[in-house]
Amino acid sequence: MIRDINTIWDNCLHTIKKNVNTQSFKTWFEPIKPVQLVDSALTIQVPNKFFYEWLEEHYVALLKKTIRDELGSTGKLEYQIRLNSMQRKPTMSAQANNVSNSSGKNNVGRMNSPAIENPFVIPGIKKLSIDPQLNKNYRFDNYIEGDCNRLARSAGMAVAKKPGGTAFNPLVIFGNVGLGKTHLAQAIGNEIKQYQGDKNVLFVSSEKFTNQMIQSIKNGSINDFVNFYQMIDVLIVDDIQFLANKVKTQEIFFHIFNQLHQNGKQLIFTSDRAPKDLDGMEDRMISRFKWGLSADLQAPDIETRIAILESKMTREGIELDNDVVEFICYNIKNNIRELEGVLVSLAAQSSLNNRQIDLELTKEVIQKFINEINKEITVEFIQNLVAEHFNVPVEKLAGKTRKRSIVVARQLSMYLAKNLTNKSLKAIGDQFGGRDHSTVIYSCKTVQDLLDTDMTIKEDVNALEKKIRMSLNG
């Protein structure tokens, strides 16, 4: 019986979707296209080499199981890199029972790019030398990596090593305010300047670009303005969304973009939203933003927030108790910039008022950054609600029984207590029969992993969170 490759791949996607979170599925699996099925070898097309390597590194086990379930034990998965017309289209095979080869990487071929004389080189003009307008404090070594930013950071490092020579051109970094877009974009520029000093790097805000253009039009020097930008090797434009509805600015920027891209120069943009959501931007501009990679930054999880805060503490020479660090990071959830603001405010309050930085002072400072702190929610309240939900004795949650139903209820209670109360890990553990903080961390990680793969657990957590909020509002 002849099987349709689209049906086969749809079946695979159905399985994969149950085992990865929504954002990962959209980023890594929706762009894949099934190409052909020969015998038991399914060929899928991926956008670039980096994409293929990411799948092999992070999803090899899942792909192995999925292909084996769909095509049988002899099934094979082959990757085809989507390249432009000047490049060969290499194919990489992976046996279903051994998806990754021994080296973990495959030779994907090289571009056929004969040297072409650049007609835009103007004789007599010396190499451009400009101030890159970069903040040297924005570096990769102080940009903490987590699940929230791993793709963007990895792509940024690839660009920094080979500007203009990767599939990530342009690289669009997007996300909400305070998640580190500007830091990452400037880290790329600083890395390039450090190791490839001959490259002309320029960081400019879209507002400054617009003002410069308006001034050059007034002065009758628009050609000089365009020529200047066309001589940049790495152009980093911050907050590209502010070009929206500026028709003339977009027109000139469009031509600069084309010239730089055609000459293999690197373009990096930051935005508060994905290219497809940039209202007021011309379709041709949005189309070019989509040529490369759009990498989003998510709000960091609690572990990443703690790592970020501790990194800032080290740089500022500030020491805080673990309870204070945890309290800050539990309450400042969606804005990395605010973490730094809380730290600066604590240091100032401690110095000016000669007060020790403790939980009391920390609560006073944090109230200026957030509307409310979850004071009403207690660990006991969560324990009673979870026990009721699972129909188990509440005292069992603090006991030593390893019965599965009790273990699940206990782990979910710890997870909710960590996310919805201001208690430290130690304090939470104390209320579960004197368990230590490592047990709380393990329980929370177990639940977090299950949320990505087990729909029942996800439904339980959603139902419990809804009950908690409804009980408080009632």
Q: Do 135 and 189 form a contact (C-beta atoms < 8 A)?
A: no
| pLDDT score of 110 | 30
| HSE-up (13 A, CA, CB side) for residue 316 | 18
Q: Do 413 and 382 form a contact (C-beta atoms < 8 A)?
A: yes
| pLDDT score of 209 | 92
Residue with tokens 């509440």: 394
Question: What are the structure tokens assigned to 285, written together?
Answer: 């501009």
Taking alpha carbons only, the member of 378, 367, 439 closest to residue 410 is 439
Q: Which three-class secondary structure state does DSSP give residue 42?
A: strand
pTM, full prediction: 0.57
In whole angstroms, give the CA distance from residue 121 to residue 131.
22
- Amino acid identity of residue 146, one-letter, is G
pLDDT in tens, 66-75: 888 888 888 8
Residues 6+ apart with CB under 8 A from 184: 138, 143, 149, 152, 153, 156, 173, 297
| pLDDT score of 388 | 85
What average pLDDT does this structure show over 149-177? Answer: 91
CA distances from 301 to 245, 309, 367, 398, 463 (A): 35, 12, 21, 26, 21
Does pLDDT of 4 surpass 90? Answer: no
Q: In what order do the strands lie in the sheet with 266-271?
A: 201-205, 234-238, 266-271, 171-175, 293-297
pLDDT in tens, 182-231: 999 999 999 999 998 888 899 999 999 998 899 888 888 888 888 888 88
In whole angstroms, give the CA distance from residue 409 to residue 387.
7
C-beta neighbour count of 207 within 10 angstroms: 12
pLDDT in tens, 299-356: 888 888 888 888 888 887 888 888 888 888 877 877 788 888 888 888 888 878 888 8
In whole angstroms, give the CA distance from residue 307 to residue 147.
13
| pLDDT score of 82 | 65
Question: What are the structure tokens assigned to 264, written together?
Answer: 């293999």
φ, ψ of residue 8 to 5 degrees: the values are: -60, -50
Residue with tokens 């209820």: 409
Q: Which three-class secondary structure state does DSSP give residue 431?
A: coil
Q: Do 37 and 45 form a contact (C-beta atoms < 8 A)?
A: no
**Distance, CA of 342 to chain centre:** 23
In whole angstroms, give the CA distance from residue 29 to residue 49.
15
In whole angstroms, give the CA distance from residue 17 to residue 455.
11
Question: Residues of the chain with pLDDT > 90: what percent?
Answer: 22
In whole angstroms, give the CA distance from residue 432 to residue 383.
9
Residues 6+ apart with CB under 8 A from 312: 339, 340, 343
What average pLDDT does this structure show over 126-133? Answer: 65
Question: What are the structure tokens assigned to 465, written together?
Answer: 């969170």
Does pLDDT of 86 surpass 50? Answer: no
Going by pLDDT thresholds of 50, 70 and 90, the confidence category of residue 107 is: very low
Question: What are the structure tokens assigned to 350, written together?
Answer: 């401690």
**H or E element that contains 270:** strand 266-271
Which is more confidently placed, 406 or 115? 406
Domains of the chain listed by start with CATH number: 5-95 (3.30.300.180), 140-297 (3.40.50.300), 302-366 (1.10.8.60), 379-473 (1.10.1750.10)
φ, ψ of residue 20 to 5 degrees: the values are: -135, 160
| pLDDT score of 182 | 93
